Amino acid sequence: MSAASADSQVTVRLPRVLADLTGCERKIAVTGRTVEEALADLVRQNAALGLHLFDDTGALRRHVLCFRNQVAVQSRAELEEPLSEGDQLTLVNSVAGG
């Protein structure tokens, strides 16, 4: 089966600030065919993360950065790209200030 037709198991790494919502876990195994599906599985496992990661339209909040294997996921199309077994997603809260 290709990666696009079967769920892949991937790891999501979370920033420390969100660890309280996951029982202090910062690495969570999820499954999905795409980045979007993997993030949906993350929220299914830890419902409280949904409010912190997604806006009312279901899009990632502007201050949440997502990286797939250290490459930024910046567009809707990139969220829909197929995952491969063992991929790693890293979520980071961007910080602004001066």
Tell whether pTM > 0.85.
Answer: yes
Residue 3 lies in a domain: no
- Of the candidates 90, 71, 73, 72, the one whose C-alpha atom is nearest the C-alpha of residue 15 is 90
CATH number of the structural domain spanning residue 49: 3.10.20.30
**CA-angle at 61, arms to 54 and 52, nearest 5°:** 50
Round to whole Å and give the CA distance between 66 and 89: 7
Domain span at 20: 8-93
pLDDT band at 3 (very low <50, low <70, confident <90, very high): very low
Q: Assess if residue 66 is contained within a domain.
A: yes
How far are the Cα atoms of 60, 69, 76, 77, 92 from residue 73, in angstroms, in the given order? 10, 10, 8, 9, 12
Query: Which residues on adjacent β-strands are paired with residue 54?
Result: 60
Task: Express each pLDDT in 53-78 by its tens digit.
Answer: 999 988 889 899 999 999 999 888 89
| Tally of domains within the chain | 1
